[in-house]
Amino acid sequence: MRLVLTIMTLFFLHIDSKSQESKNVNVKEIQDEIKQVKKEIKEREVYVKTLMKKLDTMPIKKSPWVYKGNFNIVLSEVLRGDWAAGGLSNYTVQVVGHLEQDLRLKKHEWDNNFDVRLGFVKNFDAVSGTSRPIIKTMDLLQISTKYLYHLKNDKFSVGLESVFISQFTKTYDFNTGTYLFSDFLSPGILDLSPGFEYDPYPFLKIFISPLNSRLKFVINDEIINRPSLLANRYGHAVGEEFTYELGSKIDAVFEKEMIKGITLRSRLQLTNSWGRPSYVIDRLYTSRTNIDVNCQTDLFFKIYKSITINLGFFTIFDDDNRFPNVDNPDPDGKKAVWQIRQNISLGFALGF
């Protein structure tokens, strides 16, 4: 019996020994595998660092084109039904947009700008169903392109600028809804200006052209064929759809983010028609020293993500845009006056 117990004890001790030896082998294999993985990780880290250093020394090709701009859209509705205090219902749509596409290749620069301002108000009586004519609150189409060659001092450059200014749709007298004030290409302006540019700061550009060619359009028959002396044909004679003049021009653009979320953009265009023919001067009671002014200023406040406030100010003084005037008028009963438009809007904006 003792012999049997002794044999069984030795047997179990042998099995336990083998089991422990097997466990030791498994642990060692795992530890070796961990060491191998750590070694591979270190080798890959070294390899990644080598690649990053190599990437830093390699030139990265970027697109020579730079795009930027912003669009502000406002939609509103007022609906009134049996309102004791009176009033009208209305819909309002307003769009203010600016887009730039610029190219810079060494000393060559090509700048393209597109500006749009368009707004409408539709008044109606929801109770009676009476509808009023659509009133246009703003309408501007402006496209400009400019090629520059930078000189040794990069702040100075020479080149050629072209600017087109008109509007999108017809504008009627809101009192009658039938008298036509303006239309696409009535009026329209196309400037071709060789000159030079001075960029004292990254946010300020001043283009000066001593020889500006200006082509003006009034192609709408209803506007250009009005025989009345008080009719505004934008400086054109009856039936004269095109005029051409030589002069000088200054085009200055300021654009800067004043503080985070607030951007100011302003463009001032000053034009003088020193080459205006004498018969035009006599007809418009003007002179060659007069300066036309076109100034557009926008201030964008970014409130939250895509919600912004736009403050806009637009002023024009054009000696060809003459209005009936009772205060010291010219012999024809008209006078060129300062035209002013201001807008404040809260809406959705897209900026890039």
Residue 86: other Cβ atoms inside 10 A = 6
What's at 140, amino acid-wise?
L
208 to 159, 212, 245, 276: CA distances (angstroms): 10, 9, 17, 19
d(CA 110, CA 220): 33
Predicted local confidence at residue 46, as pLDDT? 83
Per-residue model confidence (pLDDT) at position 352 = 65
Quote the pLDDT of residue 69: 86
pLDDT at 92: 92
Give me the pLDDT at residue 326, please: 63
Entry pTM: 0.80
Task: Summarize pLDDT for 160-214 with one digit per residue, the tens.
Answer: 999 999 999 999 987 777 899 999 999 999 999 999 999 999 999 999 999 999 9
| Residue 256 in tokens | 């800067």
pLDDT of residue 8: 56
Model pLDDT, residue 180: 92
Task: Match domain 65-351 to its CATH number in 2.40.230, 1.10.10, 3.40.50, 2.60.40.
Answer: 2.40.230
pLDDT recorded at residue 6? 55
Q: To 5 degrees, how large is the angle CA 166–CA 238–CA 212?
A: 45
For the chain, which residues score pLDDT lower than 50? 4, 23
Q: What is the pLDDT of residue 10?
A: 53
- At 69, the amino acid letter reads G
What is the Cα gyration radius of the chain? 37
pLDDT of residue 339: 93
Q: Quick check: helix, strand or coil at residue 98?
A: strand
What the block records as the tokens of 168 is 């999108």
End-to-end CA distance of the chain: 96
Report the C-alpha dihedral over residues 126, 94, 71, 117, rounded to 10 degrees: 160
